[in-house]
Every structure is written in C-alpha cells, then in structure tokens.
Amino acid sequence: MTDRHDVVIVGGGLVGASLAIALDRQGLDVGLVEAAPAGQMPAVFDQRNLSFAAATVNALGALGIMGRLRAPTGPIRRIHISRQGDFGRVRLDAADYAREAFGQVVVARDFGEALEAGLQDLRGLTRYRPARFTDLGGTDDGHRIVRLATGDQVRELRARLVVAADGTHSSVREALGIAADTHDYGQTLFVARIRAERAPDGTAYERFREDGPTALLPRGDRHWGVVHGVQQAQAEAVAALDHAAWLQRLQRHVGWRIGRLLESGERSAYPMTRVVAQRVVGERAVLLGNAAQTIHPIGAQGFNLGLRDALTLAEEIARAGDPGDPVALARYAARRQEDRERTLAFSDGLARLTSNPSPLLRPLRSLGLAAVDANASLQAFLVGGAMGFRGDVPALCRGEAA
C-alpha cells in the first residue's frame, strides 16, 4: 500500500506531535508515524516535570495546547543557582524584567494528553499506529519514499518532506547516513515528585555538587519536581534505596530551603548522553528535537530547543510552498544555527564546569556566580536565553501570529 503526503513525521512524541499541530494551520496533508497504539500514551509522557520557557508558553498558547492542560501549571517566578562549597550564587526574579514568570512547570503526562486532544481535532492528519519506521527509499517525482512496518504489513509512504522526530537513537538519522557526535557524561538522572514542609512559592532551585546537579521545580499541585543527578557508578545503589533513605539523600543535597522532605513518588532514571547530529537536513528530510540534538537537561533546554526547531520549520514550509524544497531546508538550517550552537554550548559548558572537582576551579566558579548575581547585563543575557529568546526566534514564540 502506498499513500502520499506533503509531510511525514516519524515520531509522535513531544516535538513530533507539536509540529503536526503547527502544520495543520497551513492545510497540509500530514502523516504521523507513532510507535504507540491508539489509546496508549508514548513512554515519554510520564510523570517527569517539563520546564516550559516563556517562548514555549507563548507558542503552545497560540497553538491551543496550553488551554487543553487539565492540571495546574507551576509558574517559575524566581531562579536560585548555587554550588556546594562555592561562595557565589545567582538569584533571578522575573519581576525585575517586568514579567510574571520565566516559564511554567508542566507534568509530561498532562502535556501528552493535551497534545493527544489537539491531534484528534486535526483535519489533514493521517496517523500510522502502531508503526515502526524501517527504511528510506530514494526520491521519485518530488517525493521521498518512507517504508513502515505495521503489524504484519509493510507500508510505503511518499512524502515531499520526511521529518525525523524519533528521538536520540533516531532510525531516520541513521537511514540518512548522518553521523552524530556523542559524549557520555557518566551521570544518571533520577526524576520524581516530592512533597515538602514548604509548598512551592514560584522559586526554582538549581544546586550543583561534584557528584551531579539537583533541581527543584515548583509544580502546580503543591508538590516539587526533583531532578537528581548521580554518577553512573552510584546509579544502581541509588535506585535500590528505600523511601526513607532516598529522602535522606535528597535532603543532604538540597538542604533545608523547602523544609523537611516528607514524601516522594516513584523514581524514574535516565542515563545522560549528549548526541549531536553533524547536520540537520538531507534530501527532502530534516532532523528535529532529540534526533538533531540530545543535550544535558541542566537549564531545562531540551524540549524548548526542539519546539523552536519545529516552529521554524513550519515557517519555512509556509514560505516555500514545497515542504522539501532544498532552498527552504537550507534556510531552515541557517536560521537554527545560532540558537542551536549557543544552547548546546550553554548546556554542555554548565554541565562540565559545575561537575569538575578541581580545586583550582572553585574560586573561579565562585567569582563567576557572584559576578552574574551582581551584574544586570550578565543576568539579562542569561535570562533571555533561559526564556527561549536566542537567535532567530519563531513568530509564535515571540507571541506574534505566524
């Protein structure tokens, strides 16, 4: 069986589903290839906490997704950054920039349900699920051939543009022959929901230690989202901790900023590896989100960066007419270069610098933190990037009509 589409998106996770919703505004015929069967959420939509930058909130609001969230979001009004053993710290307040919040904390499961509701309303969308991408064929009559396995059937699609939104270990990226640079941080991140004596007040905490970072995110349900990084050699032991020992470990790492930690939900663990594709476009094909770059979650930039990928691509498709036009894809890659490179450098540099145990770096780190805390220009630069306003920002992220 063969079907033709303007765009085929491989991957129905956060970025792929968001792109499908954005493209529907253009009246395009879109195919979405999803591993999960109908009625089942992809594994990525679990209880982890997503930190949406202000630019992301703007865009998802314009696409109607924020309005579909059922659980309350947690505004990030203040950010407090420190490192154990260093005297400097950084304190940022959204009110100093005439903003109500730097962003919002959203539960991934709730976001997934909002995306699913949005997908069900799309007029020009064909969903292939459960389906598995198998390989790419050549180009024929302006369409790239995409082959899928759907149960016992092999299905062949033809698309003017193939979008790889299939994650860190992207099969589409591999089929395109695009190499990726990798770096293993030697860390595992544990994610959970915790309850403490003090309910969230809009402050997000980022605490660094030699053995890894710990972040506390203010959720909207009077709980905190915790992201706790450990060295890989410790990961198995931390996973085996009972409830009381897990809370004690977190208490040692975060201190008493939110009082005594009282309760923790289920823990999920994610090994941390940086994967960066050496290029992001191919013949009638483009990489988005984690397929293009998987970065350390310090600074909470991963999904925010991927959404800006998707929305920039949607703008270039609207401008070109032909979604797979090579000139349009080259423009897309050029527009994404600055944001991509700066975000990658920020995330990677922060991860390496804050985990380096060298005593020679301690005074430099302390002075750096103190300098940022005291310098309004440095703070403004940091805040602009954290809110998603780096490089050529898509119109929806700026709060403008696309």
Q: What is the pLDDT of residues 96-124, one digit of tens each?
A: 888 999 999 999 899 999 999 999 999 89
Tell me which DSSP letter residue 255 carries: T
The rounded average pLDDT for each run of 10 residues, N- to C-terminus, in the chain (402 residues) is 88 96 94 92 79 95 96 93 66 88 93 95 94 94 94 91 96 98 89 95 87 88 92 93 96 93 92 92 97 79 92 96 96 96 77 49 41 48 74 91 58
Strands 285-287 and 89-93: unpaired
pTM of the model: 0.90
pLDDT of residue 353: 52
CA-to-CA dists, residue 208 to 151, 200, 232, 317, angstroms: 47, 20, 16, 41
Strands 103-107 and 49-53: antiparallel
Strands 224-231 and 180-196: antiparallel
pLDDT of residue 105: 95
pLDDT of residue 45: 76
pLDDT of residue 351: 63
**Residue ranges of domains in the chain, CATH in brackets:** 2-47+60-72+108-182+275-356 (3.50.50.60)
What is the number of other CB atoms lying within 10 angstroms of the CB of residue 371?
A: 12
Could you tell me which of 324, 331, 303 has the C-alpha nearest to residue 392?
331
Angle at 239 between CA 237 and CA 240, to 5 degrees: 65
With contact defined as beta carbons under 8 Å apart, do 104 and 76 qualify? yes
pLDDT of residue 217: 94
User: Token pair of 302, please?
Assistant: 């991963």
pLDDT of residue 44: 75
Reduce the DSSP state of residue 354 to 3 states and report it.
helix
